[in-house]
Structure 1
Amino acid sequence: MSMDTKIIESPNQKRHNPILRFLHLCGISYVYLFIFTSQFSPLEGIYKNGVLWLCKNVFQQQKVEYIKMTGSGDTTLDYWVVVVNICLAAVAALVILLADKKQRTFKDLRWFTVVVARYYVAMIMISYGFAKLNNGQFPANSIGRLEEKVGDMSPMGVVWTMMGASSGYTFVSGLLETIGGLLLLFRRTKTFGALFSMTVMINVALLNFFYDVPVKIFSSHVVLFCVFIVSGDAIALYRFFILHQPSQLRFQKRTADKRWKRVTLIVLKGLVVAYFILTSSPVLFYTAPAVPMEGAYTVEEFMMNNKEIPSCSQDSAGWKKLIISHSGRAGIVLNNDSTKTFKGVIDTGKNTLILRKTEPDNPYAYLHYHVQKDSIIFTGNIGRDSVRIKTTRKKKEDYKLNKRGFHWINEYPFNR
């Protein structure tokens, strides 16, 4: 991690084929361009605005926009960023190739870039790994998700539902990502760490591609970074795994000429590792707030102005279901199967539920609830109409997806 260190290698250095060296330098340049312009970089916004200007004024792509905070890393502009990065990497490689004809800095540049790449991938793996250890990235399925029909889910929703249904699988996934990241932090385990991380991330990338999760560009780059890290050991790995010949991975031992430099490198590495862990660890201690009266309330009887509105009437005034899935929000399914979402204010002390639209002083419904043995009764007003709504509540643990659990022995597949 310092340009003042020396590489202990054989004095017989082989000159590289110019074309292969150019391609190698393209890869090295691209690594820096991606790191400095990706979603974790403070320069991302500035760089994307520059690419956006190129799209509109040079490439005449007037429809391209910089869409912020969508959760998607696969926007049209993101693909243009990849194209621009490839072009800039080729230019940078050509400049280095012409300026360093004797290849004096090539070895050091490649070594340093591998260090940068493995620390970057380590940061990504630890960050995403920690997020899965405590269900941060894939929380348990909400009532709203459990009520959604499988056929109406998006492909991405299917993945989130699958992961949210099993905290054990999510935990192991996060643990594997964390292990891969930690292995990349040390030179002796970097090759194993890159292979390990690549195996884990290939599965992630495949899910992103085939379930339309808009992180395809980013996850693919993490896999490619792992390939770049192990590229220097490709021949040794080929000999060992394919030819079954004795082989040895290259270990470039680095020494500093002064003790204070060695101590500085050790301290710097410790600070970097501590930074990765500390910035990723808050999610380990996050606990989602409890949702008062959480559940799906199926309407058994809906009385408005002392007149029953049957669920089969298709009357938009009647309710089929009340869903309280998140704190501060509530939704209703009407008899005609249309849905409405409201701000839901629940006071468990007064046993009240207020459903509001956008205007805080104009509630859609003001209801009192009373819990009986097998049902919950809501009474109050919807607008100017008085209502009495008899419901049965379904909690998270009542859904088959949640209550089935794990079984060592299955005489028959439980698949219905």
Structure 2
Amino acid sequence: MNTKPITFPNQRKHNAVLRFLHLFVISYVYLFIFTSQFSPLAGIHKSGVLWLCKNVFQQTQVEYITMTGSGDTTLDYWVVLVNIGLAVVAALVILLADKKQRTFKDLHWFTIVVARYYVAMIMLSYGFAKLHDGQFPPNSIGRLEEKVGDMSPMGMVWAMMGASTGYTFVSGLLEVIGGLLLLFRRTKTFGALFSMTVMINVALLNFFYDVPVKIFSSHIVLSCLFIVSGDAMALYRFFILHQPSQLRFQKRTFDKKWKSITVIAFKWLVIAFFILSSSSALFYTPPAAPMEGAYIVDKFIINNQEISCNDSIGWKKILITSPSRTKVILNNDSTKTFQSVLDTENKTLMLRKIDHQDLYAYLHYNSQKDSIIFTGNKGRDSVKIKTIRKKKEDYLLNKRSFHWINEYPFNR
């Protein structure tokens, strides 16, 4: 007697669509991981996509811009489109070649393992970078002197994060916790939900403050969704239907003890590599600028003649932001940026125009009580500049500390 269940045409079509979508998602996950900005194959893949854009899609304006700092270039969006196309092709090929109509559950669970290790690496990398002035260092003198209205939206985010070491540290700590939870099977679902919550906030900042990491951060959120997909029904029953539910947990078993030891050892080597490579940011200390500060000009004398504050050739502020960068703000509020050489032993400051060897100014500086006096030459002219130094700790943004009690909001 034949007991094989009867399948109707509509049911077969429905099953085929579900299997196709399943294979498409799995294929796209691998394509994203192996072609993202942290993959050694990213450059090769981008070059291939660029060739397709120019020779197949006739998109001659698309360029491969290296060292741009942006992950949202035109070519990056083309990479997403090409990856979607490749995932469709891969899913169709596997679907047509598979005569047994398998469900690919094992492949799905293995892909989840790959995805959670990848997301864990990203979370640890970004998290550790926030724990010690890596991604968001304290605001520089140049940033503190910048008007809020003149900041870019992205600059506003960096200024906000740089203004609070505590908030930045906690943000990084949450990302590290999410990454660590993803590394273990017992905590993977909680880790994915935890990481997704953290990364949704990051993605929203990227979108609404025009930070060019929109594509990547969105994919990390989607990767977290993929990781919890295997437990979707259990989560739905528990959170929505309020029914007893249990997450899947497959205990790893081996027929030989040495296989178990090898897998466990390899796992901990990978975890150690992730932590050590990511935590290197904890030991990075940005170079200090000995004379860092904003020097507010009180008197500007050129060729023994004092220049009024209304004369555009006069200087309004000197901003020493690093040992090799100095900015000068003129009386008309225009800004000039110079390459600088600061010699603290001889107390001299040399200024050269960017990408020029010609000396713009050679100044000696001397401290007198609360003022700093610069004397020397600017081109062929002799100058004497009396300034008052303003350090980082003198700015209200840095002076205002945490208060448990606020009778009135301190909002200036």
The bucket for the TM-score relative to the shorter chain is over 0.9
CA distance in 2, matches of 1:361, 1:252: 67
Residue of structure 1 in register with 2:348 after alignment:
352
Deviation at 1:254, TM superposition (A): 2.6
CA distance in 1, matches of 2:101, 2:130: 44
Deviation at 1:102, TM superposition (A): 2.3
Q: Cα RMSD (Å) of the superposition? A: 1.3
Residue of structure 1 in register with 2:5 after alignment:
none
Residue of structure 2 in register with 1:4 after alignment:
none
Summarize deviations over 1:149-200 as a string: whole Å, max 9, x none: 0000000000000000000000000000000000000001000000000000
Q: What does residue range 209-358 of structure 1 map to in structure 2 within 5 Å?
A: 209-313=207-311, 315=312, 317-358=313-354
Summarize deviations over 1:182-219 as a string: whole Å, max 9, x none: 00000010000000000000000000000000000000
Does the residue aligned with 1:17 lie in a helix, a strand or coil?
A: helix
- The code of the aligned residue for 1:357 comes to K
User: Does 1:79 pair with 2:74?
Assistant: no
Residue of structure 2 in register with 1:400 after alignment:
396
- The code of the aligned residue for 2:184 comes to F
Summarize deviations over 1:309-362 as a string: whole Å, max 9, x none: 11112x2x2111100012211010112221111111111111111111257753
Q: After alignment, is 238-247 or 204-213 more displaced? A: 238-247
Residue of structure 2 in register with 1:375 after alignment:
371
CA distance in 2, matches of 1:300, 1:172: 41
Residue of structure 2 in register with 1:187 after alignment:
185
Deviation at 1:103, TM superposition (A): 4.4
CA distance in 2, matches of 1:355, 1:30: 52
* Maintained 8 Å contact 2:19/2:103: no
* Maintained 8 Å contact 2:293/2:319: yes
Does the residue aligned with 2:310 lie in a helix, a strand or coil?
A: helix
Calculate the TM-score normalised by the size of structure 2: 0.95
Does the residue aligned with 2:242 lie in a helix, a strand or coil?
A: coil
Summarize deviations over 1:294-319 as a string: whole Å, max 9, x none: 00011110000000111112x2x211
- The code of the aligned residue for 2:346 comes to K
* Maintained 8 Å contact 2:302/2:382: yes
Calculate the TM-score normalised by the size of structure 1: 0.94
- The code of the aligned residue for 1:342 comes to F
CA distance in 2, matches of 1:237, 1:113: 20
Residue of structure 1 in register with 2:104 after alignment:
106
Deviation at 1:105, TM superposition (A): 7.0
CA distance in 2, matches of 1:38, 1:340: 38
CA distance in 2, matches of 1:101, 1:365: 79
CA distance in 2, matches of 1:100, 1:375: 80
Residue of structure 1 in register with 2:32 after alignment:
34
Residue of structure 1 in register with 2:48 after alignment:
50
Match of 2:152 among 151, 154, 160: 154
Structure 1, unaligned stretches of length 5 or more?
1-14
CA distance in 2, matches of 1:225, 1:374: 56
Residue of structure 1 in register with 2:3 after alignment:
none
* Maintained 8 Å contact 2:337/2:354: no
Deviation at 1:250, TM superposition (A): 0.9
CA distance in 2, matches of 1:385, 1:277: 56
CA distance in 2, matches of 1:109, 1:237: 21
Q: After alignment, is 102-111 or 286-295 more displaced? A: 102-111
Identity of aligned residues (%): 79
- The code of the aligned residue for 2:114 comes to V
Match of 1:122 among 109, 120, 124: 120
Deviation at 1:222, TM superposition (A): 0.2
Deviation at 1:252, TM superposition (A): 2.0
Does the residue aligned with 1:367 lie in a helix, a strand or coil?
A: strand
- The code of the aligned residue for 2:110 comes to F
Residue of structure 1 in register with 2:23 after alignment:
25
CA distance in 2, matches of 1:265, 1:17: 35
User: Does 1:385 pair with 2:381?
Assistant: yes
Does the residue aligned with 1:388 lie in a helix, a strand or coil?
A: strand
CA distance in 2, matches of 1:185, 1:196: 13
Does the residue aligned with 1:386 lie in a helix, a strand or coil?
A: strand
Residue of structure 2 in register with 1:7 after alignment:
none
Deviation at 1:104, TM superposition (A): 4.5
Residue of structure 1 in register with 2:8 after alignment:
none
Does the residue aligned with 1:311 lie in a helix, a strand or coil?
A: coil
